[in-house]
Amino acid sequence: HSASTVYQVTDTLTAVRGRHLWKAGVDLRRLQQNAYRDVMANGYLSFPGMTGNALEELLLGLPSVTTVAHVDNAEHLRTHSEYAFLQDMWRVRPDLTVSAGLRYEYNAPPVDTEDRANVYVPATQSLVRVGTNGIPRGGYAADRNNFAPRIGVAWRPGHGGTMLRAGYAIAYDQSSLATGEGLYFNAPYYVLNLYYSFAQFPLSLSDPYPKNYPLTLPSTALTFQRDLRTPYMQQWSFLGQQEAGRNQVLELAYAGSKGTKLINARDLNQPLASAQQPNPRPVPQFDDINVIESRGNSNYQSLQAGVRRTLRAGLAANAAYTWSKSIDDASGFFSTAGNPNYPQDSRHVNLERGLSDFDVRHRFTLSYGYDLPFGKGRLRGGWQTFGVWTFQTGRPFTVALLPDVDNSNTGISTLGFGANDRPNVLRNPALSHGSPDGWFDTTAFAMPPFGSFGNAGRNILEGPGYRNVNVSVLKTTALSERARVQFRAEAFNLLNHVNLDLPDIFLGSPTFGKIQSAESPRRIQFGLKLLF
């Protein structure tokens, strides 16, 4: 439940002097967000199959773990941003242009209008109200060092229709309200209650959140890296274009980027993996203590080739192929279908480096529009067809233990899948011809000894690829000078190719390694439009 408002003032000045085109501008923003974060307020029930059959546990109404949150954390976030830039486009000579600029960005840490929030302070091992005892109102200090240079060069050598372009730029993240939401997930405004079923006190659907629960579990906590930095991306590219006849251009490019100081999280209060029972946390008065940090990194490299054909003889088309690789240590702040984006071992976050959740090694796309050459006159002519074809390899995924299985004995995490534990990998689990009944070799994974982390890496397997052909046919008929009627027939996934989703990634699940869902099948729709 949220409502956001942005008040923005932008102004740009342009001046021409000789071969220089100067631009300067400012962008002033005032942002507010009024929301209610009822995460887990409706409760969560888990039937992980601890008895060997998750469906049986569900039918018997015997959850293994339940969670429910008490919330009183209405948020009233306020922040402001100030941006300024200066850019010069210099026409060095008729065939060479250089563009250079500098941008400065400042995003103030979001604050609550009434400072109705607490953050965990490691020095005192306690929750402290923001705006008191030296704690900034936003939970972290402002980052005022966000200078973003950029430069670009365009050169047209000779008269052969060749164009060369190169560029480099730094861009800062402008999600100025997102991190501020972390202020609202500490006691007493947000209390997450976790219940485990055990022999002396089994949980049931009739009372999944018992008030007489015999175990008192400490509350979770959240804090910020005190000198949290604004994430930024360095981007560079080199592009060559060559005219190939009339209305056609060939392109070949190398493009890369590097993300630095990306927002991640880990558990400050995670104990060492141990078979000791119980295995106490370093700060026993709290459960997991999640810290939001700017420590993430990413790296992307790609080779891109394409053909562009502008409208000629009724045909316009774009074809593009990309060969790329993306690596990071977390592809997002929250979990995705195939990866928790939360470290298994918060003491060794460098072990999370692997393929990005969105890494696609090969991707080909074709889009076109064609005025069909048959039929003449008002009634028989006016036929067109359009299409978008997409073919790509699969996305990576991480094999994990069931979300509520704390095999490492280091505690359940409130972020990510749960415990975020992974299995041991015994050999290469990839299959040359995976199927929905077994996408990878499930016997290549094993449960680690209790009290230890698994050695399986992050995103070590690749999911199914994607093939899709969307096509439309249109017939436009003029009724008068100002009115036309248009008939449309559109087919999505025309070939009805089965685009499989990711397999079950959880060791211990009865469907481990199997694919049980797919994306949309073929869909055909017709339409009639009156244009006037």
Q: Which of 31-45, 81-95, 137-151, 351-365 has the lowest mean pLDDT?
A: 31-45
Provide the pLDDT confidence category of residue 3 given band limits of 50, 70 and 90.
Answer: low
* 153-164: b (≥16 Cβ within 10 Å) or e: bbebeeeeeebe
What local confidence, expressed as pLDDT, does residue 376 receive? 72
What local confidence, expressed as pLDDT, does residue 196 receive? 82
End-to-end distance of the chain based on CA atoms, in angstroms? 40
Provide the pLDDT confidence category of residue 378 given band limits of 50, 70 and 90.
Answer: low
What local confidence, expressed as pLDDT, does residue 163 receive? 95
Q: What percent of the chain has pLDDT over 90?
A: 72
User: Quick one: CA dihedral 391, 393, 395, 397, positive or negative?
Assistant: positive
pLDDT 10s digits, 499-525: 999 999 999 888 999 999 999 999 999
Q: Which of 47-61, 127-141, 305-319 has the lowest mean pLDDT?
A: 47-61
What local confidence, expressed as pLDDT, does residue 2 receive? 60
Mean pLDDT on 94-114: 95
What local confidence, expressed as pLDDT, does residue 417 receive? 77
Provide the pLDDT confidence category of residue 106 given band limits of 50, 70 and 90.
Answer: very high
Q: What percent of the chain has pLDDT over 70?
A: 98
* 307-346: b (≥16 Cβ within 10 Å) or e: ebbeeeeeebbbebebebebbbbbbbbebeebbbbbbbbb
Residue 50 has pLDDT above 90, yes or no: no
For residues 363 and 158, give the distance between their C-alpha atoms in angstroms, rounded to a whole number.
Answer: 33
Look at residues 194, 209, 210, 261 and name the one whose alpha carbon lies nearest to residue 234. 261
Mean pLDDT on 23-38: 90
Provide the pLDDT confidence category of residue 480 given band limits of 50, 70 and 90.
Answer: confident
Rounded-to-10 torsion of CA 107, 113, 119, 124: 110
Provide the pLDDT confidence category of residue 186 given band limits of 50, 70 and 90.
Answer: very high
What local confidence, expressed as pLDDT, does residue 377 receive? 67
What local confidence, expressed as pLDDT, does residue 414 receive? 83
Residue 37 has pLDDT above 90, yes or no: no
What local confidence, expressed as pLDDT, does residue 197 receive? 85
Strand pairing of 44-46 and 162-172? unpaired
Mean pLDDT on 72-91: 93
What local confidence, expressed as pLDDT, does residue 7 receive? 72
Q: For all residues of the chain together, what is the average pLDDT?
A: 92
Between 312 and 376, whose confidence is greater?
312
Q: Which of 14-23, 51-60, 313-322 has the lowest mean pLDDT?
A: 51-60
For residues 153 and 120, give the distance between their C-alpha atoms in angstroms, rounded to a whole number.
Answer: 48
The distance of Cα 322 from the centroid of its chain, to the nearest Å, equals 20
Q: Which of 34-43, 133-142, 259-268, 484-493 has the lowest mean pLDDT?
A: 34-43
Q: Which of 230-234, 270-274, 332-336, 373-377 has the lowest mean pLDDT?
A: 373-377
What local confidence, expressed as pLDDT, does residue 405 receive? 87
Residue 280 has pLDDT above 70, yes or no: yes
- Read off the pTM: 0.89
Strand pairing of 523-531 and 424-425? unpaired
Residue 427 CB burial class (10 angstroms; 0-12, 13-18, ≥19)? exposed
Mean pLDDT on 335-353: 93
H or E element that contains 379 = helix 377-380
Provide the pLDDT confidence category of residue 419 given band limits of 50, 70 and 90.
Answer: confident
**Residue appearing with tokens 């342009």:** 14
What local confidence, expressed as pLDDT, does residue 488 receive? 95
Residue 235 has pLDDT above 80, yes or no: yes
For residues 103 and 236, give the distance between their C-alpha atoms in angstroms, rounded to a whole number.
Answer: 17
Between 62 and 258, whose confidence is greater?
258
User: Quick one: CA dihedral 157, 160, 163, 164, positive or negative?
Assistant: negative
Provide the pLDDT confidence category of residue 1 given band limits of 50, 70 and 90.
Answer: low
Residue 194 has pLDDT above 90, yes or no: no
What local confidence, expressed as pLDDT, does residue 479 receive? 87
